[in-house]
C-alpha cells in the first residue's frame, strides 16, 4: 500500500436526500474512529452510532461502517458515515473530520488511491465516472462491464501476447546466427497476425463502447421552413421546438438529447440558412455554421416537392468534411412514399406524420458504425481508441519490418506501451491528473 494522508469528503450528490454519506480514507484513521463515534467499531459491520462533535455533542445519528486495509475500496482504512441527507448536517460531520486531521479530498482522489493501491486498473477506475455519467441504460450496463474488468481482460490478453512475441524476437537478437530459423519455427509472424486480428476485434468493440459514452452530434440544417423543427420534435417524441408556418421561426440553435437503440444522440436544430438583413437571424445562422464544425453528422432538409436546388447545392458546398444525409421532407404533401436511396445518402420522409423517420434513425446509426447492441459491449473512451490505433500502427510497421528484427522488436515495444496505457501499467502522472480531475469529489 502507498502511504498517504487522510482525506474526507461528502460522497453523495449535493442537495437534500434521505441519506447522506461522508467518506474518510487514509493509512491511519484511528483518531477519526474514536473522535467521531466514541467507540470501537467491528470491521465491515454496520453499527448504529451518534456522530460526535469536539465537545461530545451529537452532530447526527446514523450508521458507521469501518473497512480496515487492505479490504476496502481504496486499499486504505476507510470509514463511511451514513447519516441524514441534509446539506448542513453533512457539512457539520465533514468539518469534524477536518478538525480531526483529515483534509478535503480532491476530485477523484478516492478512485485514484484505489488505482495506485492496485484495487482497480485505470480502465476500471474511469468506468466509475462513466457509470455515474451514463446517458442511457445501454451505456450504464456497458460501463458496469468495464468496471467489472471485461475490457481489461481483453487488453490483458493482447498485452500478454505482445510480451511473449517480444520475448521471442528479442531473444534472437542475442543469437543472430539462428534468428530467422528460430522465429519461423516459433511462428512469430503467425503470432503477429493473430495479435493484429485480436486488436482489430477489441477496437471494433471499443468503438461501440465509445459511441455509447460520447454519443453523436447530429445537426439539422436547411433553408427556412423546410421542417427542421418538426423533424426534431418527431425524433424527440414531443414538442421540443416551436413550429409555425412562418419562415425564420427558429433563430438560435436548439439542443435536445435523445436515444436511438440506447445510443445518445445530441440533436441540434438550427436557424434556416439564407441571406438576411435581420441581425438576430444572422447571429442564429452564424451559430448554425459553428455547430456544424463540431457535428458528427449533418442532416440537410429540403422540400420533397422541389428537390435539391441552387440554394441547397450552395449549402452542401460549404459543409465541413463530415458525413451528411439529405432528407426530402413533406412527402405527405408531395404525394411520395418513404424510401431510402440505394447509396443511403438520401431519405424521403414526412416529419409531420412520422412516415419514414425510422429510416433516418437507422441510417444515422449505420453512419456512426453502430451495430445491434451486443451483451458483451464495454464502455470505452477516446484515449482508449487512440491507444489501440497507435498499437495497430505499430503492429503494421512490425509486419512491414519483416526480417529487420531490430525494427520488429522496437515496434512491438511501442505497441506494448500503447496498450498498457489503457489499464495504467504504463503512463504519466500528467495523464492520471487529467483523468481523475474529471471525477466527482467523494469518488
pLDDT at 76 over 90: yes
Question: What CA–CA distances, in Å, run from 87 to 17, 22, 94, 416, 443?
Answer: 9, 11, 10, 47, 18
pLDDT at 250 over 60: no
- Decide: 35 and 51 in contact? Cβ < 8 Å: no
Per-residue confidence at 247, pLDDT binned at 50, 70, 90?
very low
C-alpha–C-alpha distance, residues 114 and 185, integer Å: 43
Cell readout for 414 is 511501442
Q: What share of the chain has pLDDT > 90, as a percent?
A: 35
C-alpha–C-alpha distance, residues 234 and 301, integer Å: 14
Q: What share of the chain has pLDDT > 70, as a percent?
A: 86
Question: What CA–CA distances, in Å, run from 139 to 40, 91, 94, 161, 373?
Answer: 42, 33, 33, 29, 10
- What are the residues whose beta carbons fall under 8 Å from the beta carbon of 188, sequence distance 6 or more? 165, 168, 169
Cell readout for 341 is 436511396
More confident: 417 or 317? 417
pLDDT at 365 over 80: yes
Do residues 153 and 250 both lie within one domain? no
Domain tally for the chain? 3
Say if 356 falls within a structural domain. Answer: yes
Do residues 105 and 164 both lie within one domain? no
Per-residue confidence at 433, pLDDT binned at 50, 70, 90?
low
Do residues 94 and 135 both lie within one domain? no
Domain of residue 105, CATH code: 3.30.1360.120
Domain of residue 144, CATH code: 1.20.120.430
Q: What is the average pLDDT across 187-194? A: 86
Q: Quick one: pLDDT at residue 443?
A: 66
Say if 221 falls within a structural domain. Answer: yes
Residue ending a domain, choose from 76, 103, 120: 120
Say if 434 falls within a structural domain. Answer: no
Domain of residue 359, CATH code: 3.40.50.300
pTM across the whole model: 0.76
Question: Which DSSP string corresponds to 128-185?
Answer: HHHHHH-SSHHHHHHHHHHHTTHHHHHHHHHHHHHHHHHHHHHHHHT-GGGHHHHHHH
Lowest mean pLDDT among 26-30, 68-72, 292-296, 297-301: 292-296
pLDDT at 163 over 70: yes
Say if 439 falls within a structural domain. Answer: no
Say if 440 falls within a structural domain. Answer: no
Do residues 252 and 364 both lie within one domain? yes
- Classified as helix, coil or strand, 200 is helix
Do residues 189 and 259 both lie within one domain? no
Q: Quick one: pLDDT at residue 401?
A: 84
Per-residue confidence at 298, pLDDT binned at 50, 70, 90?
confident
- Decide: 177 and 110 in contact? Cβ < 8 Å: no
Q: Quick one: pLDDT at residue 231?
A: 87
C-alpha–C-alpha distance, residues 194 and 186, integer Å: 13
Q: What is the average pLDDT across 43-72? A: 92
Do residues 112 and 137 both lie within one domain? no
pLDDT at 178 over 70: no
Q: Quick one: pLDDT at residue 249?
A: 44
Closest CA to 147 of 134, 136, 135, 157: 134
Residue ending a domain, choose from 103, 120, 137: 120
Do residues 352 and 405 both lie within one domain? no
pLDDT at 396 over 70: yes
Do residues 113 and 135 both lie within one domain? no
Per-residue confidence at 390, pLDDT binned at 50, 70, 90?
very high
Do residues 229 and 364 both lie within one domain? yes
Say if 375 falls within a structural domain. Answer: no
Say if 326 falls within a structural domain. Answer: yes
Do residues 315 and 357 both lie within one domain? yes
Do residues 200 and 220 both lie within one domain? no
Q: What is the average pLDDT across 104-133? A: 90
pLDDT at 329 over 80: yes
In which order are the strands placed within the sheet that holds 263-269? Answer: 254-260, 263-269, 216-222, 297-303, 324-329, 346-348, 339-340
Q: What is the average pLDDT across 37-46? A: 90
Question: What is the span of the domain harbouring residue 112?
Answer: 7-120
- Decide: 388 and 199 in contact? Cβ < 8 Å: yes
DSSP H or E run through 346: strand 346-348
pLDDT at 248 over 50: no
- Decide: 262 and 138 in contact? Cβ < 8 Å: yes
C-alpha–C-alpha distance, residues 70 and 91, integer Å: 28
Question: What CA–CA distances, in Å, run from 283 to 223, 225, 234?
Answer: 15, 18, 26
Do residues 201 and 290 both lie within one domain? no
Cell readout for 306 is 422541389
Closest CA to 74 of 8, 30, 123, 18: 8
Say if 351 falls within a structural domain. Answer: yes
- Decide: 327 and 300 in contact? Cβ < 8 Å: yes
Amino acid at each position: 500500500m502507498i502511504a498517504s494522508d487522510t482525506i474526507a469528503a461528502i460522497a453523495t450528490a449535493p442537495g437534500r436526500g434521505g441519506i447522506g454519506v461522508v467518506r474518510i480514507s487514509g493509512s491511519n484513521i484511528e483518531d477519526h474512529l474514536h473522535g467521531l463515534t466514541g467507540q470501537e467499531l467491528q470491521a465491515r459491520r454496520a453499527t448504529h452510532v451518534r456522530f460526535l462533535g469536539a465537545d461530545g455533542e451529537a452532530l447526527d445519528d446514523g450508521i458507521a461502517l469501518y473497512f480496515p486495509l487492505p479490504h476496502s475500496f481504496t486499499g486504505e482504512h476507510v470509514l463511511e458515515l451514513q447519516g441524514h441527507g441534509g446539506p448542513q448536517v453533512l457539512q457539520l460531520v465533514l468539518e469534524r473530520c477536518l478538525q480531526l486531521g483529515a483534509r478535503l479530498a480532491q476530485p477523484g482522489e478516492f478512485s485514484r488511491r484505489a488505482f495506485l493501491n492496485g484495487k482497480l486498473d485505470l480502465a476500471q477506475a474511469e468506468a466509475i465516472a462513466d457509470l455515474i455519467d451514463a446517458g442511457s441504460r445501454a451505456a450504464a450496463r456497458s460501463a458496469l462491464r468495464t468496471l467489472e474488468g471485461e475490457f481489461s481482460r481483453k487488453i490483458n490478453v493482447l498485452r500478454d501476447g505482445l510480451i511473449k512475441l517480444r520475448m521471442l524476437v528479442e531473444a534472437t537478437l542475442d543469437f543472430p546466427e539462428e534468428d530467422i530459423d528460430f522465429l519461423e519455427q516459433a511462428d512469430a509472424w503467425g503470432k503477429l497476425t493473430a495479435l493484429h486480428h485480436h486488436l482489430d476485434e477489441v477496437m471494433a468493440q471499443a468503438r461501440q463502447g465509445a459511441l455509447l459514452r460520447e454519443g453523436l452530434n447530429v445537426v439539422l440544417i436547411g433553408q427556412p421552413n423546410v421542417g427542421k423543427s418538426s423533424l426534431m420534435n418527431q425524433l424527440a417524441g414531443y414538442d421540443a421546438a416551436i413550429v409555425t408556418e412562418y419562415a425564420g421561426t427558429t433563430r438560435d440553435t436548439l439542443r435536445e438529447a435523445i436515444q436511438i437503440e440506447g445510443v445518445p444522440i445530441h440533436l441540434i436544430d438550427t436557424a434556416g440558412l439564407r441571406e438576411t438583413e435581420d441581425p438576430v437571424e444572422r447571429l442564429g445562422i452564424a451559430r448554425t455554421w459553428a455547430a456544424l464544425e463540431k457535428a458528427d453528422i449533418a442532416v440537410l432538409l429540403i422540400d420533397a416537392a422541389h428537390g435539391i436546388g441552387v440554394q441547397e447545392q450552395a449549402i452542401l458546398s460549404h459543409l465541413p468534411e463530415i458525413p451528411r444525409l439529405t432528407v426530402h421532407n413533406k412527402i405527405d404533401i408531395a404525394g411520395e412514399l418513404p424510401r431510402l436511396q440505394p447509396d443511403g445518402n438520401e431519405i424521403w420522409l414526412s416529419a409531420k406524420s412520422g412516415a419514414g423517420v425510422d429510416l433516418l434513425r437507422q441510417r444515422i446509426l449505420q453512419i456512426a458504425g453502430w451495430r445491434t447492441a451486443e451483451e458483451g459491449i464495454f464502455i470505452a473512451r477516446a484515449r482508449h481508441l487512440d491507444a489501440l490505433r497507435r498499437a495497430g500502427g505499430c503492429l503494421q510497421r512490425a509486419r512491414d519490418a519483416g526480417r529487420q528484427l531490430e525494427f520488429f522488436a522496437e515496434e512491438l515495444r511501442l505497441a506494448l506501451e500503447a496498450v498498457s496505457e489503457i489499464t495504467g501499467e504504463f503512463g504519466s502522472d500528467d495523464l492520471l491528473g487529467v483523468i481523475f480531475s474529471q471525477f466527482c469529489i467523494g469518488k
